[in-house]
Structure 1
């Protein structure tokens, strides 16, 4: 790191200039949020079903009595031994949101193609408590463009993040976030989906790092990150008087 060292007055001048830019970003975020809420909806007519600890449930039943459902498409394939490290990083931030979301008419649930026993075992290992269900035997992941068949992976491109991307840049499982609304008649509507870096703001650790002196301090996205039970103990600083 090679930063200019200045007086407090010069620092305040630079900081106020950045504050103006930060306010621009906040106002832009507010405008984008309004545009997101104004998106048209699509009725979900397909009968999706999921394996849950309480038995097989439909998409409408995943709402758990609320009118809004947010699904995190967690990368965990049927044959995988563990969930994706990056998705696990994001999932570490979900449990604390649950009481707030649930009391604001929103249900949050993770969905993966891994069978439920694998999901339950990994969830226990990670000490997570958010709802997590299996879409095994359902077209849900494929229809929402986060899982791809062997035949698709043998082709040149797959559909992801609202475009066609080269297979070499894809994987059989990819992350995403989708939102749904259930009306008084029980009809379900798809209101929003986001992929790739779209759900990044759910990762509170990154939001803190963005304000730390070294920022994210990574050469590639998440190249430093591990599952939270896989970190080696960080070396302790030596005392100046030792």
Structure 2
């Protein structure tokens, strides 16, 4: 549906029948105004997703990157399985880290429960620079059952799609396989500190961590001095 055919957000919000016990007229007016903004946000997210899907073809991969997983060596092309789209999440867990990043861990713990559903449509893999045994042991410790975990032993993939060869930084990368079998880069998140607003902890939009989405609906929000911990 075109944007011209949509009813104004304020009109939709005003038609909402929601009312809650003992709410004041001021609360209802403010909530209705907020609902109009939430409708606009929903529409903007849909517009951005459409713009993302319309990206021109990305660069063809220069080599079939090699990884190490639970079943031994594998390649980027093999990670697709029978799908034509592959999501790769780069976990902050390099050899220099004693433990994986708590923020990445919290996000992946949420994804683990969704992985089986996601993989009905696309392939999903988690990659880190630590040795495979270390990564797999960490996954077992966290109780992950559905995520497919891999090591990037050479750092070639990390160097091309995350940063430096030993970059200790998260990354979200999507690849697409063409009908002729060629693999192209489709999309990467680019929400680093360079594009953060003043005083903002850098994060992607939309945020892919359900933790923050839920906290954004609470009175205290995300807070400025709280992050997930591995010992919680």
Q: TM-score range by the shorter chain?
A: 0.7 to 0.9
C-alpha spacing 1:141/1:123, structure 2 compared with 1 (3 Å): same
CA-CA distance at 1:207 after TM superposition: 1.0
Equivalent positions of 1:161-200 (< 5 A) are 172-195=167-190, 196=192, 197-198=203-204
Q: Does residue 77 of the first structure (1) align with residue 94 of the second (2)? A: yes
Give the Cα–Cα distance (whole angstroms) in 2 for the partners of residues 174 and 86 of structure 1.
11
Aligned equivalent of 2:224: 219
C-alpha spacing 1:57/1:7, structure 2 compared with 1 (3 Å): closer
Consecutive unaligned residues of structure 2, counting only runs of 5 or more, are 1-21, 193-202
**Which deviates the most, 140-149 or 35-44?**
140-149
Consecutive unaligned residues of structure 1, counting only runs of 5 or more, are 1-5, 150-171, 232-242
TM-score scaled to structure 1, two decimals?
A: 0.76
Task: For residues 146-179 of structure 1, give each alpha carbon's deviation from its aligned partner in whole angstroms, at most 9, with x where no partner exists.
Answer: 4455xxxxxxxxxxxxxxxxxxxxxx41111000
Task: For residues 52-96 of structure 1, give each alpha carbon's deviation from its aligned partner in whole angstroms, at most 9, with x where no partner exists.
Answer: 112211111011221110011111112322211111111111112
C-alpha spacing 1:77/1:23, structure 2 compared with 1 (3 Å): same
C-alpha spacing 1:83/1:53, structure 2 compared with 1 (3 Å): same
Aligned equivalent of 1:209: 215
Q: May I ask how many residue pairs the two structures share in their alignment? A: 198
CA-CA distance at 1:7 after TM superposition: 5.2
Partner SS state of residue 23, structure 1:
helix
Give the Cα–Cα distance (whole angstroms) in 1 for the partners of residues 29 and 75 of structure 2.
56
Aligned equivalent of 1:10: 26
Instruction: Pick from 88, 96, 100 the counterpart of residue 105 of structure 2.
Output: 88
Partner SS state of residue 128, structure 1:
coil
C-alpha spacing 1:65/1:139, structure 2 compared with 1 (3 Å): same
Aligned equivalent of 1:163: none
Query: Is the CA contact (8 Å cut-off) linking 1:176 and 1:199 kept in structure 2?
Result: no
TM-score scaled to structure 2, two decimals?
A: 0.79
CA-CA distance at 1:27 after TM superposition: 1.0
Aligned equivalent of 1:50: 67
CA-CA distance at 1:183 after TM superposition: 2.6
Query: Is the CA contact (8 Å cut-off) linking 2:156 and 2:165 kept in structure 1?
Result: no
**Which deviates the most, 51-60 or 140-149?**
140-149
Aligned equivalent of 2:114: 97
Query: Is the CA contact (8 Å cut-off) linking 1:70 and 1:180 kept in structure 2?
Result: yes
Query: Is the CA contact (8 Å cut-off) linking 1:72 and 1:110 kept in structure 2?
Result: yes
Partner SS state of residue 207, structure 2:
helix
Q: Does residue 125 of the first structure (1) align with residue 125 of the second (2)? A: no
Give the Cα–Cα distance (whole angstroms) in 2 for the partners of residues 111 and 199 of structure 1.
22
Give the Cα–Cα distance (whole angstroms) in 2 for the partners of residues 226 and 147 of structure 1.
26
